[in-house]
């Protein structure tokens, strides 16, 4: 929070594509900013302006999460481009400053898919099934060391 500035906070209940409950709520916080040539110390936004800013932020956050997958949303969170987009969108209502994503909370873990995991790590899109000749091949150590067999663990 900043002194002598109005705050506009918005929380979205954005759903991922194909998800029934909202999986990725975003919490965004923004502060009103004074005009360029004002001498006045304070610059509070009126209540109606805060409501309009909040509505605009929620619309944009829901659109952002629904059109992009989880990886793209995270890549936009890292350089804080989502906050900059909200700042530009709210300028028509009231001058905004210091708009940022305060919190992102994952409510439900997405389904584990091995193919998508390997795509994320750049190892190709394999389906995770091993072929018959790869199963059971013995790997020899370069130095010839074999650890001793333990009787109890």
All structural domains of the chain with their residue ranges? 46-104
Each residue of 85-100: pLDDT tens digit? 888 888 888 888 888 8
**Residue 45 contacts residue 57 (beta carbons within 8 Å):** no
How far is the C-alpha of 29 from the C-alpha of 98, rounded, in Å?
8
pTM of the predicted model as reported, rounded to 2 decimal places: 0.59
pLDDT at 70: 79
Does the structure show a pLDDT above 60 at 35?
yes
Q: What is the mean pLDDT of residues 117-140?
A: 63
Q: Give the confidence band of 135 by pLDDT, cuts at 50, 70, 90.
A: low
Each residue of 67-87: pLDDT tens digit? 887 788 888 888 888 888 888
Q: What is the DSSP string of 112-133?
A: P-HHHHHHHTTS----SPPPTT
Nearest residue to 95 via CA among 44, 153, 132 = 44
pLDDT at 129: 54
Nearest residue to 7 via CA among 44, 62, 48 = 44
**Residue 31 contacts residue 96 (beta carbons within 8 Å):** yes
């Amino acid at each position: 929070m900043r002194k002598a500035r109005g705050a506009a906070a918005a929380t979205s209940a954005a759903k991922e594509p194909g998800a029934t409950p909202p999986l990725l709520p975003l919490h965004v916080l923004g502060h009103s900013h004074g005009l360029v040539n004002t001498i006045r110390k304070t610059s509070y936004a009126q209540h109606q302006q805060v409501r309009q800013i909040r509505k605009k932020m929620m619309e944009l956050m829901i659109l952002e999460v629904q059109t992009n997958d989880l990886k793209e949303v995270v890549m936009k969170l890292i350089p804080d481009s989502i906050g900059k987009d909200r700042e530009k969108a709210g300028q028509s209502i009231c001058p905004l400053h210091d708009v940022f994503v305060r919190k992102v909370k994952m409510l439900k873990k997405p389904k584990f898919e091995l193919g998508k995991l390997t795509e994320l790590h750049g190892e190709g899109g394999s389906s995770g099934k091993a072929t018959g000749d790869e199963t059971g091949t013995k790997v020899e150590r370069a130095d010839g060391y074999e650890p001793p067999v333990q009787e109890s663990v």
